[in-house]
Amino acid sequence: MIGYLKKKLQMSLLSQRDRQLAITAFNHYIDFLSSEVEFLEKEDMLDDVNYEEYKSELTESYALVNWVKLEYQKNEN
């Protein structure tokens, strides 16, 4: 019974395919944010209203994609 409950608790609402899709989507979003930040820095538009928001979202996106990657690796078996 304990083994059954332990296995049930380890189950996730996200499938490995869901995690793969999330990783791909985050990577595309990170590429977009990176290119926007790079452009704004290159054009010396650091006072642009989106600059700080993009930089903040970029940091958060890296953290989220790394978390999803860890979950993917953890549930690979």
pTM for this prediction: 0.77
Predicted pLDDT at 13: 80
Q: Is the pLDDT of residue 7 over 70?
A: no
Q: Which tens digit of pLDDT belongs to each residue from 10-25? A: 556 889 999 999 999 9
Are 37 and 54 in contact by the 8 Å Cβ rule? The answer is yes
Using DSSP, state whether 3 is helix, strand or coil: helix
69 band by pLDDT with thresholds 50, 70 and 90: very high
Where in the chain are the domains? Answer: 15-74
Q: Is the pLDDT of residue 49 over 70?
A: yes
Which alpha helices (DSSP H) does 1-77 contain, by range?
Answer: 2-10, 16-42, 51-74
Q: Kindly report the length of the chain.
A: 77
